[in-house]
């Protein structure tokens, strides 16, 4: 039997498992009940334009598994992952699994915005991280997760450890592609030296053919393996009517590659395989450095939390026990020993001692604390055993607030980066238009297709906006990361840009801005 394409997920499946129906005299085919349910849900919500945005992109079948939903409403889960605002609203960061393109982001945001009780939803396409704010009096988190699953995706709480695994996988992918690109560029430049020498001093066609074939062999894996990242980015940009930097890199390198094959076979003109390899190598290295800088910035966040204990000693009914900080509730009595870091804000109930608060206030001298004094998470007990009562839970303590502050500053783009992204898009479109006009002008002027093609390709290759697309976000991320290591926290990345333009910086005696 023939394979059928699912109306929802675009995957092919055997005809014998097909679920068929008709809508407005048009046949609909589904591979499972999940896809059928999602399709009708989107139509009933007026979100059927999702399929126009999706195009030919394939999704995972909408297999729904709601057996574990109750865990999202447990108190321990709430203490670990959910932040409660002063107005009673709840906030969580989730990773949405199954997002393949901007159409997926659009669909998830639209569906959640239409859900009663969901106040705000924003999804970052680059890392699939979703920030969701909702009213727990109207809707439970388990219902939000169920809604996400009902449209064919899955969601789980953002966990730095899982993101670390993903970052390592990304680095490995880039590393292997860079190795191939660097190997190809190093060897092809040796061949290019011989090529250029022959160009000026003369070379037999048979030797030239050997050099051309050797360069072709080196350039092919660099273009299609190392450069696959750019082709993928250009493809998704094309599907969403976006011309980006990947479009310039992919179109310039591929055009030069195709022309070089023509020149090699016809033995007319010069080949540009070396240019293909160098384009891919330089831009790929730039992207890899951007990945490293993002990882470095995230490591700063992990460093703030890494030295923090995950368990504390509590007193309950005269019994000592180790309890995970996520399970601490307001009023619990916690024991603090010399050298330990305070992980939850509280009030001293027994004992007295000195605390190092330099990481919080900038005060170099230890601060003496006694009964009924407030101690903040992030400070360090220096010289004696102290008991204190928790006045906040882990998600609302000072240290967590600082980490969230730094995370927001890393994820929020400053105005200069937003401008760079916007200019890069317009710039790429304009360059492609100029390249086409240049090709047409040279073709009618010199009446040489080859010469016109070379000049047109040169415009694309030379104009790649790497400084705008790569250097700007990298400089911002590194700046925030270095500042955090030196005890300077920016609430938003835009403040880094503002300070660069300032003439006067006013500080109080503790160094707090």
Catalytic residues: 508
Check: CB of residue 417 under 8 Å from CB of residue 434.
Answer: no
**Where would I find the H helices in 154-244?**
160-201, 205-221, 228-239
Check: CB of residue 22 under 8 Å from CB of residue 44.
Answer: no
Which residues on neighbouring strands pair with residue 21, listed in sequence order?
28
Identify the CA nearest to 151 among candidates 53, 271, 64.
64
CA–CA distance, 324 with 468 (Å, rounded to integer): 45
Give the SS3 label for residue 31: coil
DSSP assignment of 449-497: HHHHHHHHHHHHHHT--HIIIIIHHHHHHHHHHHHHHTT---SSTHHHH
Give the SS3 label for residue 378: coil
Give the SS3 label for residue 379: strand
Distances (CA, A) of 169 to 155, 176, 337: 20, 11, 39
CA–CA distance, 410 with 432 (Å, rounded to integer): 32
CA–CA distance, 270 with 450 (Å, rounded to integer): 10
The count of other CB atoms within 10 Å of the CB of residue 506 is 6
Residues 6+ apart with CB under 8 A from 224: 231
């Amino acid at each position: 039997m023939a394979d059928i394409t699912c109306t929802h997920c675009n995957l092919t499946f055997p005809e014998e498992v097909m679920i068929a129906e008709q809508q407005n005299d048009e046949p609909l085919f589904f591979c499972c009940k999940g896809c059928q349910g999602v399709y009708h849900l989107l139509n009933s919500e007026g979100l059927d334009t999702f399929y126009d945005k999706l195009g030919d992109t394939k999704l995972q079948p909408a297999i729904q598994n709601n057996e574990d939903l109750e865990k999202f409403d447990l108190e321990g889960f709430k203490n670990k992952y959910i932040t409660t605002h002063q107005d009673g609203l709840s906030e969580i960061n989730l990773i949405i699994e199954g997002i393949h393109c901007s159409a997926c982001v659009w669909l998830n945001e639209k569906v959640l915005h239409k859900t009663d009780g969901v106040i705000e939803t924003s999804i970052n396409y680059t890392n699939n991280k979703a920030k969701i704010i909702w009213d727990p009096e109207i809707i439970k988190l388990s219902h939000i997760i169920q809604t996400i699953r009902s449209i064919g995706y899955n969601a789980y709480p953002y966990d730095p450890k899982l993101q670390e695994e993903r970052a390592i996988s990304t680095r490995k992918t880039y590393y292997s592609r860079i190795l191939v690109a660097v190997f190809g560029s190093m060897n092809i430049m040796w061949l290019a030296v011989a090529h250029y020498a022959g160009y000026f001093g003369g070379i037999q066609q048979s030797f030239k053919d050997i050099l051309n074939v050797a360069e072709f062999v080196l350039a092919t894996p660099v273009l299609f393996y190392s450069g696959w990242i750019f082709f993928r980015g250009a493809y998704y940009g094309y599907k969403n009517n976006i011309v980006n930097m990947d479009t310039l890199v992919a179109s310039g390198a591929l055009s030069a590659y195709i022309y070089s094959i023509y020149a090699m076979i016809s033995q007319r003109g010069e080949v540009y395989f070396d240019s293909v390899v160098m384009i891919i190598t330089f831009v790929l290295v730039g992207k890899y450095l951007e990945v490293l800088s993002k990882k470095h910035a995230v490591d700063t966040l992990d460093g703030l939390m890494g030295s923090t204990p995950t368990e504390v000693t509590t007193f309950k009914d005269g019994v000592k026990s180790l309890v995970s900080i996520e399970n601490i509730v307001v009023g619990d009595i916690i024991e603090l020993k010399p050298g330990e870091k305070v992980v939850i804000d509280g009030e001293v109930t027994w004992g007295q001692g000195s605390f190092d608060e330099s990481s919080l206030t900038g005060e170099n001298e230890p601060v003496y604390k006694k009964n009924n004094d407030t101690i903040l998470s992030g400070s360090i007990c220096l010289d004696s055993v102290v008991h204190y009562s928790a006045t906040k839970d882990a998600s609302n303590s000072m240290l967590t607030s600082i980490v969230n502050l730094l995370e927001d500053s890393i994820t929020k783009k400053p105005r200069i980066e937003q401008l760079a992204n916007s200019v890069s898009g317009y710039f790429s479109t304009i360059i492609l238009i100029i390249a086409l006009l240049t090709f047409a002008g040279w073709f009618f002027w010199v009446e040489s297709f080859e010469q016109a093609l070379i000049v047109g390709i040169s415009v694309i290759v030379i104009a790649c906006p790497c400084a705008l697309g790569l250097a700007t976000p990298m400089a911002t991320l590194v700046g925030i990361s270095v500042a955090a290591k030196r005890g300077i926290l920016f609430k938003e990345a835009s403040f880094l840009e503002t300070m660069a333009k300032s003439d006067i910086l006013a500080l109080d005696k503790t160094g707090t801005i």
